[in-house]
Amino acid sequence: MNRLLPAIVNRLVIIIPYAWLLVFFLIPFVIVLRISLSEAAVAMPPYLPVFAWADGLSGFIDNVRQFSFDNYVWLTEDALYTNAYISSLTIALISTALTLLIAYPIAYGMARAPATLRPTLLMLVILPFWTSFLIRVYAWIAILKPEGLLNQLLLSTGIISQPLIILNTNTAIYIGIVYSYLPFMVLPLYSALEKMDHSLTEAAQDLGCTPISAFWRITFPLSLPGVVAGCLLVFIPAVGEFVIPDLLGGSETLMIGKTLWNEFNANRDWPVSSAVAAILLMILVVPIMFFQNAQSRLDREGR
Amino acid sequence: MKSLGSIRRSFSPWTDPSSKPFISFRNVTKRFGDFVAVDDLSLDIYTREFHALLGASGCGKSTLLRMLAGFEQPTSGEIILDGQNLAGIPPYRRPVNMMFQSYALFPHMTVEANIAFGLKQDGMPKPAIAERVTQMLKLVKMEQFAKRKPHQLSGGQRQRVALARSLAKQPKVLLLDEPLGALDKKLREETQFELMDLQQDLGLTFVVVTHDQEEAMTMADRIAVMAHGKVVQVATPAEIYEAPNSRFVADFIGDVNIFDGTVSRAQASEIRIEADAGFAIEAASSAHPGEGAKAGFAIRPEKIRVGRQMPTGNAVNAAEGELWDIAYLGDMTVYHVKLNSGKVVKASSLNAVRAVEDPLGYDQKVWISFDRDAGVVLKD
Ligand SMILES: Nc1ncnc2c1ncn2[C@@H]1O[C@H](COP(=O)(O)OP(=O)(O)OP(=O)(O)O)[C@@H](O)[C@H]1O
Ligand SMILES: [Mg+2]
C-alpha cells in the first residue's frame, strides 16, 4: 500500500496533462472535424446528420455514410478562402517579424540591466495585462483615427499637414498585433538572454570580435531557443486573430478569423466554418512541429 | 621524463637592471563605486616569465587580469604592454588572450570550432586554420574529441579546450584565471607541469591567477602575493618561502611559527630578541629594528629540531616544553610542542629511516631548538 500510493500519484502526474489535452483539445477537435464533414441544414443544431443513441449501431453507420468532404472541396473552389488564409499567414508573419525586431532590444536591455532593477522591468512588461485586452485595442482606435491623438500630435508639431490614414488599414493591424503580443515575445527572449553567461561575449571579444560581431556570433545564436518560442507564441494566435483586424482593420482586410466568424454567425453555416477551422489547424500544425523540433534540438545543444 | 621545475632554465631578468619589463602596471587603482579593488598597484612582468598572482579570495587578482585583458578600465594609473600604453585599446585589439575562470567555452560550437573561433575572426585562410586547430588539439591531447560539444566533455577536458582556444592565436601574453580551479588534485598536479612545459616550449609570457599557494610555488618563476588590492611581495617562490618580507606573507605561504618579542641587542648582522615565549633568540639579520623595539621571528616547522636533551652550548634559540600532539604523515612527522610559557610550536621532521628506535611519545618533556639563520626577523 505504502509503495503503491506514490506509484499511483506518479502516474497521475503524467496523466493529468494528457487528460487535459484530451478533454480540452482532442475531443473538441473531433467534434469540429465531425461537423465539418456534415451538411448545413435549417435545423437545431444546424447540420445533418445528427447522431442519436436511439439509432443504435446501424443508425450510426448510416449516419457516418452520409459524411462527405464537400465542404473542403467548396473551400478550395472559392478564392475567398484561399486569399483569407494567405493574407492571414502574411499578416501574422510580418507582425511576428516586427514584434521580434522590437522585443529583442527590450529583452536584451532587461537582461543586461542591474539585477536589482530586473523584477521591476519584468513587472512593466506584464503590466498591460492588468487591463482588459479589448479596452486596450479600443484605445488604439482613439489614438489612430484621423482626428485621434497621434494625428493631433503630428499636426500640432507641424510634421504633417494632412492627417494620416492609419485606422482601418493593415498598418493599424500590425500596430495592434505587435502591441498586444509584445510581452509574449519579450518574456521568452528575456529568459534566454538572462541565463546567458556574460563571460561568453567577453571571451569572444578576447578572441578578436568587436562587440557587434560578438553579438551575432555568440549572443544571438544562443538566444535562438527564446526567439523560436517567442515567434511561436506570437505567430500562432496572430494567424487566427479576430478582434484586432475586426476593430482596427479595414473592410477589405481578409483574415481567416473574420471569415470564420462570418460563416458561423452571419451565414450560420457551421459545417463550412468547421472546415475552415480544421484547415487552419492543419496549416498551423506544420510550422508548430517544425519549430518544436528546432527548439528541442537547440535546447539540447544549448546545454 | 618531462622537464620538471627543478631543471628549468635559469631565468631572472628582474635582477638585471638593464632588462625592460614586458608588462608594467604603474600606480594602477581600480574602484567599483566606493570600493577599492586594486589600490595604487605597481608591478613589472618580464618576457617569457611565468608569473603568478597569489592572494586570498576578493583581493583583486581577477580585476588586475581583467584590466590587462581590457574588460575593466583602471580608475587611475596606466598599464604598459610591450612599450605600448593600453589605455583606450579595446579587448579585441590587445595582443593578449585570456583563459577564463569559468572556461567560457561557446556551448553551441564544437571543440574544433571553439579553437578556430579567434583564427576565423582574424581572417586566417581556411587551410591554415585547420592546421593550427589540429596542432592545438594535439598539444592538449584532445584530438579524438574535436567534434564534440562542450557539454559532452568532462571538466578536465573542457579546461584543455579552453587552454587550446586561448593559445590558438599565439598571443604574446596568456592570462589564466584560476586555470586549474575545477580539477581534482591529481589531474591538477599533472596539468601544472603540462602548463609549465607548454609555456617554456612556446616561449610565452604567462600571468596566472591562483589562490592555491602550492600551485603558485610549483609553476611560477615569480609570485606576486596580493592582499586588499596591493602587492605585498614579489619574489621567486624560494624567496617568498624563505624570506617573507612581512608577517602577512610569512603567514600566508606555508606553515610558520612566529615568536614575538623585544629587541635587546641590535648589531650590524645579528639581532637578539627576548621572546615573549620565555627564551632568547639570536638570529642573523641585516635589516632589523632598533633596540627596545618590538619584533617577530618567523621560522618554518621543518627548521625546528625536537629532542629529549637540552642542546649543548648556550641557552639561546632553544626552549623546553612537552609534546602535545604528534601527527604521523608518512613522509614526515609533525610535532606540536607546548612550551613552558604555554605557546604551542609546530615542528616537523622527515622520516628518513623506516623505523626509529625509541620514538618520541606523548606528554614527554622535550627541547626545541633551531639555528641562527633558520628564520627571518619581521619588523612591526
Ligand atoms: N564589477 C564589479 N563591481 C563591484 N565590485 C566588484 C566588481 N568586480 C569585482 N568587484 C569586487 O572587487 C574585489 C576584487 O574582486 P576580484 O574578482 O578581483 O577578486 P579575486 O582576487 O579574483 O577573488 P577570487 O579568488 O575569489 O576570484 C571583490 O571584493 C569584488 O567584490
Ligand atoms: Mg577571481
Average pLDDT, whole number, for chain B?
Answer: 88
* Closest by CA position to B252, among listed B260, B261, B238, B240: B240
pLDDT at B9 (0 to 100)? 59
Q: Do B151 and A218 touch (CB under 8 A)?
A: no
Distance, CA of A225 to CA of B95 (rounded, Å): 34
Which of chain B's residues have a Cβ under 8 Å away from the Cβ of A302? 107-108
Ligand with the closest atom to the CA of A115: 1
Domains annotated on chain A, with CATH: 22-68 (no CATH), 75-300 (1.10.3720.10)
For chain B, the farthest-separated pair of C-alpha atoms sits apart, in whole angstroms, at 77
pLDDT at B198 (0 to 100)? 84
Say if residues B299 and B257 touch (Cβ distance below 8 Å): yes
Distance, CA of A84 to CA of B144 (rounded, Å): 55
Ligand with the closest atom to the CA of B57: 1
Mean pLDDT of A93-100: 96
Q: Do B107 and A302 touch (CB under 8 A)?
A: yes
pLDDT at B5 (0 to 100)? 45
Q: Do B118 and A208 touch (CB under 8 A)?
A: yes
Residue B107 in this model has a pLDDT that exceeds 90: yes
pLDDT at B147 (0 to 100)? 94
Q: Indicate the residue type of A39.
A: E
pLDDT at B1 (0 to 100)? 36
Atom of ligand 1 nearest to the CA of B59: 21
Q: Do B97 and A207 touch (CB under 8 A)?
A: yes
Which range among A159-163, A178-182, A192-196, B68-72 shows the weakest confidence by mean pLDDT? A159-163
How far separated are the first and last CA of chain B, in Å rounded?
46
Task: Give the contacts of B248 (CB within 8 A, at least 6 positions apart).
Answer: B225, B227, B232
**Confidence at A301, pLDDT banded by 50, 70, 90:** low
Which range among A46-55, A279-288, B68-77, B190-199 shows the weakest confidence by mean pLDDT? A46-55
Residue of the CA atom closest to atom 14 of ligand 1: B60
* B127-148 residue pLDDT tens: 999 999 999 998 888 999 999 9
**Confidence at A112, pLDDT banded by 50, 70, 90:** very high
Please tell me which of the candidates A204, A207, A221 has its beta carbon nearest to residue B169: A207
pLDDT at B270 (0 to 100)? 85
C-alpha grid cell, residue A296: 528541442
> How far is ligand 1, taken at its centre, from the CA of residue B273, in Å?
40
CATH superfamily of domain region B13-250: P-loop containing nucleotide triphosphate hydrolases (3.40.50.300)
CB pairs under 8 A between A and B: 61
Ligand with the closest atom to the CA of B224: 1
Say if residues B271 and B264 touch (Cβ distance below 8 Å): no
Residue of the CA atom closest to atom 1 of ligand 1: B32
Which range among A212-216, B69-73, B316-320 shows the weakest confidence by mean pLDDT? B316-320
> How far is ligand 2, taken at its centre, from the CA of residue B62, in Å?
4
Mean pLDDT of B283-305: 85
Give the closest-approach CA distance of A122 to chain B in angstroms.
26
Q: Is the preceding omega at residue B125 within 30 degrees of 0, hence cis?
A: no
Residue B6 in this model has a pLDDT that exceeds 50: no
For residue A182, what are the CA distances in angstroms to A42, A126, A140, A150?
Answer: 43, 10, 15, 20
C-alpha grid cell, residue B141: 591531447
Residue of the CA atom closest to atom 8 of ligand 1: B63
Please tell me which of the candidates B70, B90, B107 has its beta carbon nearest to residue A303: B107
Ligand with the closest atom to the CA of B227: 1
Best residue among B28, B35, B64, B180 to mutate for probing ligand 1, ranked by most atoms within 8 Å of CB:
B35
pLDDT at B8 (0 to 100)? 55
Mean pLDDT of A242-246: 90
pLDDT at B364 (0 to 100)? 79
Residue B342 in this model has a pLDDT that exceeds 90: no
Average pLDDT, whole number, for chain A?
Answer: 89
Residue B206 in this model has a pLDDT that exceeds 80: yes
**Confidence at A55, pLDDT banded by 50, 70, 90:** confident
Residue spans of alpha helices (H) in chain A: 4-21, 27-36, 56-66, 70-77, 79-112, 118-126, 133-144, 149-156, 170-194, 198-206, 211-214, 220-239, 243-248, 256-261, 270-302
pLDDT at B277 (0 to 100)? 86
Please tell me which of the candidates B92, B98, B104 has its beta carbon nearest to residue A208: B92
Q: Do A206 and B97 touch (CB under 8 A)?
A: yes
Q: What percent of chain B has pLDDT over 90?
A: 52
For residue A217, what are the CA distances in angstroms to A110, B162, B170?
Answer: 20, 18, 22
pLDDT at A289 (0 to 100)? 85
Q: Which CATH number fits domain B255-379: 3.90.1150.10, 2.50.20.10, 2.40.50.140, 2.60.40.10?
A: 2.40.50.140
Q: What backbone phi and psi angles, to 5 degrees, belong to B98?
A: -125, 140
Please tell me which of the candidates B92, B104, B122 has its beta carbon nearest to residue A200: B104
Residue B103 in this model has a pLDDT that exceeds 70: yes
> How far is ligand 1, taken at its centre, from the CA of residue B63, in Å?
6
Which of chain B's residues have a Cβ under 8 Å away from the Cβ of A301? 107-108, 149
Residue A260 in this model has a pLDDT that exceeds 80: yes
Residue B285 in this model has a pLDDT that exceeds 50: yes
* B152-162 residue pLDDT tens: 998 889 988 99
Q: Do A203 and B104 touch (CB under 8 A)?
A: yes
Residue of the CA atom closest to atom 9 of ligand 1: B63
Residue of the CA atom closest to atom 28 of ligand 1: B58
Say if residues B146 and B115 touch (Cβ distance below 8 Å): no
Task: Give the contacts of A207 (CB within 8 A, at least 6 positions apart).
Answer: B92, B97, B117, B118, B121, B165, B169
Give the closest-approach CA distance of A104 to chain B in angstroms.
20
**Confidence at A135, pLDDT banded by 50, 70, 90:** very high
Residue A209 in this model has a pLDDT that exceeds 60: yes
DSSP A266: I
Helix (H) or strand (E) holding B199: helix B185-202
Which of chain B's residues have a Cβ under 8 Å away from the Cβ of A219? none
C-alpha grid cell, residue A118: 530586473
HSE-CB of A243 using CA atoms within 13 angstroms: 13
* B218-230 residue pLDDT tens: 999 999 999 999 9
Q: Which residue has the higher pLDDT, B171 or A7?
A: B171
Give the closest-approach CA distance of B217 to chain A in angstroms.
28
> How far is ligand 2, taken at its centre, from the CA of residue B177, in Å?
7
Q: Do B98 and A218 touch (CB under 8 A)?
A: no
Residue B294, beta-bridge partner list: B262
DSSP A45: S
pLDDT at A302 (0 to 100)? 55
Q: Do A302 and B92 touch (CB under 8 A)?
A: no
Please tell me which of the candidates A202, A209, A303 has its beta carbon nearest to residue B121: A209
C-alpha grid cell, residue B363: 606528554
Q: Which residues line ligand 1 (CB under 6 A)?
A: B 32, 35, 37, 55, 57-63, 211
Which of chain B's residues have a Cβ under 8 Å away from the Cβ of A197? 102, 104
Mean pLDDT of B56-73: 94
Residue of the CA atom closest to atom 18 of ligand 1: B60
Q: Do A207 and B149 touch (CB under 8 A)?
A: no
> How far is ligand 2, taken at its centre, from the CA of residue B101, in Å?
7
Domain ranges of chain B: 13-250, 255-379
Task: Give the contacts of B294 (CB within 8 A, at least 6 positions apart).
Answer: B260, B261, B262, B263, B380
Cell 553579438 belongs to A215
For the ranges A102-111, A142-151, B17-26, B140-149, the one whose mean pLDDT is highest: A102-111
B158 burial type by CB count under 10 A (0-12 exposed, 13-18 middle, 19+ buried): buried
Mean pLDDT of B357-368: 79
